[in-house]
Amino acid sequence: FENTIFAAITFNFGPRAFTCRHLDFANLSWGWCSITALGSFDPDFGGHLILWDLGLVIRFPPGSTVFIPSAIIQHSNVPIRSHETRSSFTQYTAGGLFRWVRNGFKTNEDFENGVLVAEKALRAAEAETRWEDGMDMFSTIDEL
């Protein structure tokens, strides 16, 4: 899609699409994932979004969109009834794309084969705290 901020999309055409509790490990850990529910179902009886780590069950009717950091918040959704339909449309960006750019548009292996030991050590040290740097981009309750 033109002008989207996301590098990838997934359509799940159903006919009764739902997911079990999971994390999207390949997504950028501090990146957002857009989830849109589609179909013809009664959101009072199914299709709810569950954010396990937050202890939330959210009514998620057709046409609704939510943004979550899907690599760090366990999520799933409730199945719908047998005579209903549900599809989903998700947008996200894989962490590997950011790594590719950080490596000068090279794989990790190609990058590491072309750098000095000191640069490898520096990169290893950065990797230890990269997730914390990403988490620092989120607001805290006290900051809001």
Q: What is the mean pLDDT of each run of 10 residues along the chain (144 residues)?
A: 91 92 94 97 98 98 97 96 97 94 91 86 86 86 90
3-class secondary-structure state, position 118: helix
User: CA quadruple 35, 38, 42, 45: dihedral positive or negative?
Assistant: negative
CATH 2.60.120.1520 residue ranges in the chain? 8-92
CA-nearest of 11, 14, 86, 106 to 46 is 86
3-class secondary-structure state, position 7: coil
User: CA quadruple 91, 50, 38, 66: dihedral positive or negative?
Assistant: negative
Q: What is the rounded CA–CA span in Å between residue 23 and residue 45? A: 24
Q: Classify domain 8-92 at the CATH class level.
A: mainly beta
| pLDDT, tens only, 106-141 | 998 898 888 888 888 888 888 888 888 888 888 888
